[in-house]
Amino acid sequence: MWGVRMTLRTSKVAALLLLSVHLLHASALPAASSYEFNALMPVYVVPEDDQLLCMYEEVTQAAETKSASVLVRGENDSYPHTATLSFSVQRNSVWAIIKPVSQVDLLLHFKGVLPGAVEDPPTIVITAHYDSFGLAPWLAYGADSNGSGVTVLLELVRLFHHLYSDPRSQAPYHLLFSLTGGGKYNFLGTKRWLEENMDHAESSLLHDNVAFVLCLDSLGTGDELFLHVSRPPKPGTPQYSFIQQLEQIISARFPWMRFGTVHKKINLQEATLAWEHERYGMKRIPGFTLSHIENPKSELRGSILDTMAQVDIRKLKRNTVIVAESLTRFMYNLSDKGSAKDMQVFKGSLDIQDSRLSALMTMITSVPRAVQLMDREPEHTLLISSLEQELKHYLRQVHRHTFHPDRRDPEITFFDQMKQPMMMYRVKPATFDLFLGGCIAGYLGIVYYAIKTFGNVYTKLKATVKAKHQ
> Each residue of 389-446: pLDDT tens digit?
999 999 998 988 887 777 776 777 777 767 777 777 777 766 777 888 889 999 999 9
Whether 179 and 290 map to the same domain: the answer is yes
The answer to whether residue 4 scores a pLDDT higher than 60 is no
For the segment 441-459, the average pLDDT, to the nearest whole number, is: 86
The residue with greater pLDDT, 371 or 365, is 365
Indicate whether 1 belongs to any domain. Answer: no
Domain assignment present for 196: yes
For residue 243, pLDDT over 80 is answered with yes
Lowest mean pLDDT across 13-17, 107-111, 184-188, 281-285: 13-17
Q: What is the pLDDT of residue 18?
A: 37
* Whether pLDDT at 68 is above 60: no
| Cα distance between residue 45 and residue 7, in whole Å | 9
Residue 205 or residue 373, greater confidence: 373
| pLDDT (0 to 100) of residue 394 | 95
Name the more confident of 366 and 51.
366
Residues 113 and 92 in one domain: no
Confidence of residue 170 (pLDDT cuts 50, 70, 90): very high
pLDDT attached to residue 271: 82
By CB atoms closer than 10 A (0-12, 13-18, 19+), residue 350 is middle
pLDDT reported for residue 38:
57
In-domain check, residue 19: yes
State whether residue 196 is helix, strand or coil.
helix
Confidence of residue 175 (pLDDT cuts 50, 70, 90): very high
Write down the pLDDT at residue 104: 65
Q: What is the mean pLDDT of residues 59-75?
A: 59
One domain, residues 250 and 273: yes
Question: Domain check: are 383 and 451 in the same one?
Answer: no
Spell 253-277 as b/e; 16+ CB within 10 A means b: bbeebebeebeeeeeeeeeebbbbb
Among the residue ranges 203-212, 221-230, 345-354, 362-371, the one predicted with the least confidence is 203-212
Q: Is residue 3 part of a domain?
A: no
The reported pLDDT for the residue numbered 203 is: 53
Count Cβ neighbours within 10 Å for each residue of 375-396 and write b for 16 or more, e otherwise: ebeeebeebbeebbebbeebbe
Same domain, 95 and 110: no
What pLDDT sits at residue 391? Answer: 94
Q: Mark whether 211 and 320 lie in a shared domain.
A: yes
Which of 7-11, 300-304, 401-405, 447-451 is least confident?
Answer: 7-11
Asked, for residue 329, whether it belongs to a domain, the answer is: yes
User: Is 233 a residue whose pLDDT tops 80?
Assistant: yes
Hey, is 452 helix, strand or coil? helix
Which of 119, 88, 17 is CA-nearest to residue 426?
88
Pairing of strands 258-263, 224-229: parallel
More confident residue, 45 or 147: 147
Rounded Cα distance, 367 and 107, in Å: 17
Q: Is 428 helix (H, G, I), strand (E, B) or coil?
A: coil
146: preceding bond cis by omega (within 30 degrees): yes
Same domain, 282 and 397: yes
Closest CA to 293 of 270, 310, 271: 310
pLDDT at residue 250 greater than cutoff 90: yes
What integer pLDDT is reported at residue 106 of this predicted model? 59
Query: What's the confidence (pLDDT) of residue 208?
Result: 66
**Residue 290 and residue 224 in contact, taking contact as beta carbons nearer than 8 Å:** no
- Please write the tens of the pLDDT for every residue from 112-160: 999 988 888 899 999 999 999 888 888 899 999 999 999 999 999 999 9
Helix locations, 65-211, DSSP H: 149-164, 188-194
Q: Are residues 55 and 121 in the same domain?
A: no
End-to-end, the C-alpha distance of the chain in Å comes to 91
Query: Residue 51's pLDDT is what?
Result: 81
DSSP state of 350: G
Q: What is the CATH number of the domain that holds 394?
A: 3.40.630
- How many other CB atoms are there within 10 angstroms of residue 61's CB atom? 12
Which amino acid does the sequence have at 410?
P
Domain housing 309: 105-404
Higher pLDDT, 102 or 384: 384
Structure confidence at residue 226 (pLDDT):
96
Per-residue pLDDT reduced to its tens digit, 304-331: 889 999 999 999 999 999 999 999 999 9
C-alpha span between 220 and 358 (Å, rounded): 11
Whether residue 163 sits in one domain with residue 77: no
Beta bridge partners, 100, equal 415
pLDDT for res 105: 64
Least confident residue range of 77-86, 255-264, 392-401: 77-86
Residue 211 resides in a domain: yes
Helices marked H in 91-194 — which ranges?
A: 149-164, 188-194
Across residues 345-354, what is the average pLDDT? 89
Domains in the chain: how many in total? 3
- Residue spans of beta strands (DSSP E) within 271-348: 287-291
Q: Which of 102, 106, 183 is nearest to 371 (CA)?
A: 106
Contact 63, 72 (CB under 8 A): no
Same domain, 133 and 65: no
* Number of helices (H), then strands (E), in the chain: 9, 16
3-state secondary structure 51-79: HHHHHHHHHHHHHHCCCCCEEEEECCEEC
For residue 77, what pLDDT is reported? 43
How would you classify residue 19: left for phi > 0, otherwise alpha for psi between -120 and 50, otherwise beta? alpha
Same domain, 171 and 28: no
The burial class, CB within 10 Å (0-12 / 13-18 / 19+), for 70 is buried
> Average pLDDT of 192-196?
85
Return the pLDDT at 92: 56
Mean of pLDDT values over 333-358: 87
Q: Is residue 166 part of a domain?
A: yes
Count of residues in the chain: 470
Give the model's confidence band at 44: pLDDT under 50 very low, under 70 low, under 90 confident, else very high. Answer: confident
> Is 60 exceeded by the pLDDT of residue 202?
no
Answer yes or no: is 28 within a domain. yes
Residue 415 is predicted with a pLDDT of 76
Same domain, 197 and 240: yes
pLDDT band at residue 31 under the 50/70/90 scheme: very low
CB 415 within 8 A of CB 100: yes
Judged by average pLDDT, the poorest of 40-44, 91-95, 266-270 is: 91-95
**What's the mean per-residue pLDDT of the chain?**
80
What's the confidence (pLDDT) of residue 176?
Answer: 94
CA distance 334 to 249: 12
**357-366, 381-390, 397-406: lowest mean pLDDT where?**
397-406
